[in-house]
Amino acid sequence: MRVGVITFPGTLDDVDAARAVRYADGEAVPLWHGDHDLKGVDAVIVPGGFSYGDYLRCGAIARFAPVMQEVVEAAKKGMPVLGICNGFQILAEAHLLPGALVRNHKLHFVCRDQWLKVENNSTAWTTRYERDAEILVPLKSGEGGYQANEETLRELEGEGRVVFRYVGENPNGSRNDIAGIASANGRVVGLMPHPEHAIDALTGPTDDGLGMFFSLLDSVVKA
């Protein structure tokens, strides 16, 4: 399993995402934002951080990066793509996922360990989880409030495309407590919390996030 991990100017979590791929016995392949080349990878991770300094709007510039043009085309053909935090924002800006991420409702940066409920365990990134399982992973974002119009929310809920939901207090004002969503085919997933920071109980609150990367391994092997 070869998984591309993109680095933009301002990316912070690419090293952690690559480490998570290696924990799942995969090969992490560095992808540079300015290149038109996915290097033959089986999947792509768009990691967290502050791409291009979050100028204009989080992810608004990154969506036009040469590498993202390749990611969009590959995703349309079924390649698994995971967007984490800023990566989720980029996928929304690139219209690979619907809706938008806005400033947290209390206008404060939130950094804490967050419980999530697994709502959909049939995506390319969640098959290792039991449906309705609760997992604990870090959350660290200032613009993590998921927003969408009523039609989009009905579509996401009706089609089972809400992948993760916040448990307990909603940390950022996301509609319907949504923490992560999937594309219609379940191959593209975006979430605000950081599973790559919860792959080893020695360095994170749990190893609950590791299931996402082993799920990808299963998806790639089956393909």
Catalytic residue among 93, 143, 196, 197: 196
Catalytic residue among 58, 85, 119, 143: 85
Is residue 71 within 8 Å of residue 37, measured between CB atoms?
no
Rounded to whole angstroms, how far apart are CA atoms 4 and 29?
A: 5
Any catalytic annotation for residue 196? yes
Per DSSP bridges, beta strands 110-118 and 2-7 are unpaired
Per DSSP bridges, beta strands 162-166 and 134-141 are unpaired
Give the distance, in angstroms, between the CA of residue 158 and the centroid of all CA atoms in the same chain. 21
Rounded to whole angstroms, how far apart are CA atoms 183 and 202?
A: 33
C-alpha angle 4-37-84 in degrees, rounded to nearest 5: 35
C-alpha angle 104-106-109 in degrees, rounded to nearest 5: 55
Any catalytic annotation for residue 85? yes
Query: Tokens representing 16?
Result: 């952690």
Catalytic residue among 70, 119, 143, 194: 194
- CA torsion sign for 50, 146, 167, 185 is negative
User: Which residues form the catalytic set?
Assistant: 85, 194, 196
